[in-house]
Amino acid sequence: MSHPKYKNKGKALGKFIEECGECLAAAGKTIRFGWQSFNPEDFSTRERNEAWLRREIADLEEAIARLKKVRKWKEEEEP
Protein backbone atom coordinates (compact mmCIF):
# COMPACT_ATOMS: atom_id res chain seq x y z
CA MET A 1 0.00 0.00 0.00
CA SER A 2 1.16 3.47 -0.77
CA HIS A 3 2.00 5.51 2.28
CA PRO A 4 -1.22 7.40 3.14
CA LYS A 5 0.73 10.64 3.52
CA TYR A 6 1.87 10.52 -0.12
CA LYS A 7 -0.95 8.55 -1.75
CA ASN A 8 -2.50 11.60 -3.45
CA LYS A 9 0.65 13.67 -3.77
CA GLY A 10 1.42 14.96 -7.25
CA LYS A 11 -0.31 14.46 -10.56
CA ALA A 12 -2.63 11.48 -10.96
CA LEU A 13 -0.96 10.54 -14.23
CA GLY A 14 2.46 10.59 -12.56
CA LYS A 15 1.24 8.28 -9.80
CA PHE A 16 -0.26 5.95 -12.40
CA ILE A 17 3.07 5.77 -14.25
CA GLU A 18 4.98 5.20 -11.00
CA GLU A 19 2.69 2.35 -9.98
CA CYS A 20 2.90 0.77 -13.46
CA GLY A 21 6.67 0.72 -13.02
CA GLU A 22 6.42 -0.82 -9.56
CA CYS A 23 4.09 -3.53 -10.91
CA LEU A 24 6.55 -4.26 -13.70
CA ALA A 25 9.43 -4.52 -11.20
CA ALA A 26 7.48 -6.92 -8.97
CA ALA A 27 6.28 -9.01 -11.94
CA GLY A 28 9.78 -9.12 -13.43
CA LYS A 29 11.37 -10.32 -10.17
CA THR A 30 8.61 -12.89 -9.82
CA ILE A 31 9.28 -14.29 -13.28
CA ARG A 32 13.04 -14.33 -12.68
CA PHE A 33 13.13 -15.71 -9.14
CA GLY A 34 9.71 -17.23 -8.43
CA TRP A 35 6.53 -16.47 -6.52
CA GLN A 36 7.92 -17.48 -3.13
CA SER A 37 11.29 -15.75 -3.45
CA PHE A 38 12.14 -12.53 -1.65
CA ASN A 39 14.85 -9.90 -1.83
CA PRO A 40 17.88 -11.44 -0.06
CA GLU A 41 19.41 -7.99 0.37
CA ASP A 42 16.46 -6.73 2.44
CA PHE A 43 16.06 -8.71 5.62
CA SER A 44 13.76 -6.12 7.15
CA THR A 45 10.60 -7.44 5.50
CA ARG A 46 11.27 -10.76 3.71
CA GLU A 47 8.15 -10.02 1.71
CA ARG A 48 7.52 -12.76 -0.85
CA ASN A 49 7.29 -11.76 -4.51
CA GLU A 50 3.64 -12.81 -4.71
CA ALA A 51 2.73 -10.53 -1.78
CA TRP A 52 4.80 -7.72 -3.30
CA LEU A 53 3.04 -8.07 -6.67
CA ARG A 54 -0.39 -8.14 -5.03
CA ARG A 55 0.49 -5.00 -3.06
CA GLU A 56 1.67 -3.19 -6.18
CA ILE A 57 -1.44 -4.24 -8.13
CA ALA A 58 -3.59 -2.80 -5.32
CA ASP A 59 -1.58 0.45 -5.54
CA LEU A 60 -2.07 0.49 -9.31
CA GLU A 61 -5.82 -0.07 -8.96
CA GLU A 62 -5.98 2.92 -6.60
CA ALA A 63 -3.94 5.01 -9.03
CA ILE A 64 -6.25 4.04 -11.91
CA ALA A 65 -9.33 4.95 -9.85
CA ARG A 66 -7.79 8.32 -8.96
CA LEU A 67 -6.83 9.03 -12.57
CA LYS A 68 -10.38 8.21 -13.75
CA LYS A 69 -11.84 10.45 -11.04
CA VAL A 70 -9.52 13.38 -11.76
CA ARG A 71 -10.15 13.12 -15.51
CA LYS A 72 -13.90 12.58 -14.91
CA TRP A 73 -13.92 9.39 -16.97
CA LYS A 74 -17.14 7.42 -16.73
CA GLU A 75 -17.11 3.62 -16.94
CA GLU A 76 -19.77 3.50 -19.69
CA GLU A 77 -18.07 6.28 -21.66
CA GLU A 78 -16.27 5.40 -24.88
CA PRO A 79 -12.67 6.67 -25.05
* Pick 5 or 72: Cβ nearer Mg ion: 5
Quick one: which of 22, 26, 38, 49 contacts Mg ion (CB under 5 A)?
A: 22
Task: Give Cβ neighbours of residue 60 (< 8 Å, ≥ 6 apart).
Answer: 16, 19, 20, 22, 23
- Find, among 55, 22, 51, 57, the residue nearest to 38 by Cα: 51
Tell me the CA distances in angstroms from 5 to 20, 27, 53, one per residue in order.
20, 26, 21
From the list 8-16, 20-28, 32-40, 65-73, the region that binds Mg ion by CB under 5 A is 20-28
Quick one: which of 16, 49, 59, 67 contacts Mg ion (CB under 5 A)?
A: 59
State the minimum distance, in angstroms, from the CB of residue 33 to Mg ion: 19
Site residues (vs Mg ion, CB under 5 A)? 22, 56, 59
